[in-house]
Amino acid sequence: MRAAACYLLVLFLTSISSGALASTFYVKENGTGSGTNSWANASGDLQAVINAAVAGDEVWVAAGTYKPGGNGNTDRAISFAMKNGVNLYGGFTVNETLILKWKIVMSSSKN
């Protein structure tokens, strides 16, 4: 019984610490920042932000139109490439700070 309790405690602490390390990246049309920390520093390059994210991170995308390779791109044969464990949320108005009401737009988790 004691071993099981220790195992559950370690599992719980691991889940807390891994969630605490997750980052949120921000993307908005015509953004010029790196995509880190806030909407004020949002990037305009959705694929670059996805590439920078790691498993457990979230990418928040403001409402708008985004195209792989930049918004000047018209090639319909290319697409965005997601990464395992990165969640993408969309439709923000660039002033939200909580994700509570948003649904996952795309998740790269493989079941």
Domain ranges of the chain: 22-107
Query: Is residue 11's pLDDT more than 60?
Result: no
Q: Is 60 exposed, middle or buried (0-12, 13-18, 19+ CB in 10 A)?
A: buried
- Give 7 or 107, the one with higher predicted confidence: 107
What pLDDT shows up at residue 71?
Answer: 64
Reported as a single tens digit per residue, the pLDDT across 20-61 is 689 999 999 999 999 999 999 999 999 999 999 999 999 999
Contact of 53 with 82, CB cutoff 8 Å: no
